């Protein structure tokens, strides 16, 4: 009789386990999904606040630029140690004495470039790849040049991970541009030369725009438009970028 009781007890335990274990497993899956969603929602909230407080409030009005800034996960383009401050209104170090520009400046340069889905864009200074991703949201094709091989590889990996098939990272000297892919409808430069490289002006299409910070200690953002009649230049604001390296010797 005792053996029968033990056997019945074991059967009851197995039955209870079989009834409850799928529910527990599903609860675990639901909890994991909820946790993942809450993290993602947290970043979405930070991006919305970034756009509202840092970008829209300071005069950026192009809806396509605002949507791109709200969509692209800036925290993916910086070291993990900086994730908590990914959406602050500040540049951040990314290694190799380089930085990722503050969100407002990224949005400002993108809006000034007047990019649409039919346009081919060149970026000089890939850095983290964040500006290239924003451009990739708006343009048909983006070619981006980085002089530091390690940064070019890191940026390429992140852009691939996020699915940017229209962004092409090249290792090279930005002063030379990318003549084999010219002309470009827009060129965005994210490091400051002491003077505007002529090669970049030459590689602009007619009605194309070049957005570039220029200067040493005192830098200014310059917006250049190339027309059939020549080149127009407008200096818009004081800025502070890392120096553009690789200037060819004369």
Evaluate whether residue 209 is within a structural domain. yes
**How many domains are there within the chain?**
1
Evaluate whether residue 245 is within a structural domain. no
Assign residue 214 the CATH number of its domain: 3.40.50.150
The 10s digit of each residue's pLDDT in 139-182 is: 999 999 999 999 999 999 999 999 999 999 999 999 999 999 99
Report the pLDDT averaged over residues 38-65. Answer: 88
Distance, in Å, from the CA atom of 108 to the CA atom of 61, rounded to the nearest integer, reads: 10
- What the block records as the tokens of 226 is 């190339």
What is the side-by-side order of every strand in the sheet holding 120-124? 167-171, 141-146, 120-124, 184-189, 204-214, 219-227, 230-239
- What the block records as the tokens of 109 is 């340069």
Q: State the pLDDT at residue 246.
A: 93
The 10s digit of each residue's pLDDT in 109-133 is: 999 999 999 999 999 999 999 999 9
Evaluate whether residue 3 is within a structural domain. no
Percent of the chain at pLDDT exceeding 90: 79
Q: State the pLDDT at residue 41.
A: 53
Evaluate whether residue 216 is within a structural domain. yes
CA-based radius of gyration for the chain: 25
Q: State the pLDDT at residue 120.
A: 98
User: How many helices and strands in the chain, by DSSP H and E?
Assistant: 6, 9
Q: State the pLDDT at residue 215.
A: 95
Catalytic residue selected from 28, 101, 116, 249: 101
Say what angle helices 2-49 and 63-71 make with each other, to 10 degrees. 150
Tell whether the model's pLDDT for residue 19 goes beyond 70.
no
Q: What is the 3-state secondary structure (H, E, C) of 126-182?
A: CCCCHHHHHHHHHCCEEEEEECCHHHHHHHHHHHHHCCCCCEEEEECCHHHCCHHHC
Domain of residue 145, residue span:
90-239
Evaluate whether residue 14 is within a structural domain. no
- The answer to whether 101 is a known catalytic residue is yes
Q: First CA to last CA across the chain, in angstroms?
A: 102
Distance, in Å, from the CA atom of 170 to the CA atom of 156, rounded to the nearest integer, reads: 9
Evaluate whether residue 223 is within a structural domain. yes
Percent of the chain at pLDDT exceeding 70: 83
Tell whether the model's pLDDT for residue 56 goes beyond 60.
yes
Evaluate whether residue 229 is within a structural domain. yes
């Amino acid at each position: 009789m005792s053996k029968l009781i033990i056997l019945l007890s074991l059967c009851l335990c197995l039955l209870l386990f079989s009834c409850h274990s799928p529910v527990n497993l599903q609860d675990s899956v639901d909890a994991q999904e909820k946790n993942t969603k809450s993290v993602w929602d947290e970043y979405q909230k930070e991006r919305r606040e970034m756009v509202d407080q840092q970008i829209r409030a300071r005069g950026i009005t192009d809806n396509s630029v605002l949507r791109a800034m709200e969509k692209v996960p800036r925290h993916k383009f910086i070291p993990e140690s900086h994730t908590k401050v990914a959406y602050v209104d500040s540049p951040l170090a990314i290694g190799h004495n380089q930085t990722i520009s503050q969100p407002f400046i990224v949005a400002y340069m993108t809006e000034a470039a007047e990019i649409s889905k039919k346009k081919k864009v060149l970026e000089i200074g890939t850095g983290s790849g964040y500006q290239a991703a924003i451009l990739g949201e708006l343009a048909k094709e983006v070619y981006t040049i980085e002089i530091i091989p390690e940064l070019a590889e890191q940026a390429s990996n992140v852009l691939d991970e996020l699915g940017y098939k229209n962004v092409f990272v090249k290792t090279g000297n930005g002063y030379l541009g990318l003549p084999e892919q010219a002309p470009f409808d827009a060129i965005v430069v994210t490091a400051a030369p002491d003077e505007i490289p002529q090669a970049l002006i030459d590689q602009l299409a007619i009605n194309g725009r070049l957005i570039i910070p220029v200067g040493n200690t005192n830098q200014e953002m310059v917006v250049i438009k190339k027309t059939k009649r020549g080149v127009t230049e407008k200096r818009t604001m004081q800025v502070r970028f890392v120096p553009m390296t690789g200037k060819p010797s004369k």
